[in-house]
Amino acid sequence: MIPRLTFPRPLLRRRRLWRPFDNVFICGSLGVAGLLCLAEAAGRLGFVSTVQFPLASTVLRTAAGLAADPEFLLDVGLTFAGWALGLLLTVALAVPAGLLLGSVPAIERALRPLIEFLRPIPSVALIPLAAFVFTERLDMKVAIIVYASTWPILINTMYGLKEVDPLAKETLRAFGFGHLAVLLRVSLPSTAPFIATGIRVAATIALILAISTELLAGGSDGIGAFIILAGSSPDGLTLTVAATVWAGLLGIATNGAFVWAERRLFHWHPGTRR
């Protein structure tokens, strides 16, 4: 008979007490709250000049006011419109390209040098070039997003195809299924979690590039344009930091939404159980 392990009551009580702190959201919220308190204290005590950086409470109050500002909300909507369009085009192009490159080794070997040449080029460095090529700001924004977001989806798709169980593919071929049927019935479902991870990473990159394009290429709409115009207002520093905080919060919300979708759709995959 296997002996049953028993724990002292104080130890069990301590475990129940600390169990809520195992939650990532709770720990993250406590970390952010602690950082804000330290920033507030540093400004109040004079360790940091409030002329160079406003108090955390002032920034949060201004950020809360932006949530009810119609002009700012319109800019957020325009940024997300370019983000969504660029991400949809990226998925439509990168997933089939990744499936093709991952399924046909000869094409992958032929295009590998070009991919390795283009992939390390900083996307932000291409914004001035895109400004000369595209006359419409939305077209330029979408083009930069597609270029920058293609790589994580493409590479993840190719990597996912290499992780497909070869026995499952050979079993279908033994029953007379062709290459297309094997791709649709085995390879694509097995690669789907890897594609989803690539899309999640690409979504964050797309949002960064959308705001960066608005900042560097000019224009009159979007979060980046709002940040530039905020710098010329009387309370420019506080307004700029508050808008930047919103950009970060939108990035966190976007990533969180994709993580939630991954766990819902691919709950059977070990990589989503985190």
**Cα separation of 62 and 244, whole Å?**
11
What would the mean pLDDT of 146-159 be, rounded to a whole number? 94
At residue 247 the predicted structure's pLDDT band, cuts being 50, 70 and 90, is very high
**Amino acid in position 126:** L
Instruction: Examine residue 227 and state whether it is found in any structural domain, yes or no.
Output: yes
Number of domains in the chain: 1
At residue 4 the predicted structure's pLDDT band, cuts being 50, 70 and 90, is low
CATH classification of the domain holding 174: 1.10.3720.10
At residue 7 the predicted structure's pLDDT band, cuts being 50, 70 and 90, is very low
Instruction: Examine residue 14 and state whether it is found in any structural domain, yes or no.
Output: no
Residue 161 makes CB contacts below 8 A (sequence gap 6+) with 98, 99, 102, 103, 187, 191
At residue 270 the predicted structure's pLDDT band, cuts being 50, 70 and 90, is low
Instruction: Examine residue 30 and state whether it is found in any structural domain, yes or no.
Output: no
What would the mean pLDDT of 68-95 be, rounded to a whole number? 93
**Cα separation of 225 and 214, whole Å?**
6
- Which residues constitute the domain of residue 83? 52-266
Instruction: Examine residue 129 and state whether it is found in any structural domain, yes or no.
Output: yes
- Structural tokens at position 21: 């702190």
Q: Where is average pLDDT lowest: 41-45, 173-177, 239-243, 268-272?
A: 268-272
pTM score, whole prediction:
0.82
Instruction: Examine residue 24 and state whether it is found in any structural domain, yes or no.
Output: no
**Cα separation of 19 and 239, whole Å?**
39
At residue 174 the predicted structure's pLDDT band, cuts being 50, 70 and 90, is confident
Instruction: Examine residue 141 and state whether it is found in any structural domain, yes or no.
Output: yes
Distance of CA 138 to the CA centre of its chain: 20
pLDDT at 223 over 70: yes
Question: DSSP assignment, residue 3?
Answer: P
Instruction: Examine residue 41 and state whether it is found in any structural domain, yes or no.
Output: no
- Render 253-267 in DSSP notation, one character per residue: HHHHHHHHHHHHHTT
Question: DSSP assignment, residue 186?
Answer: I
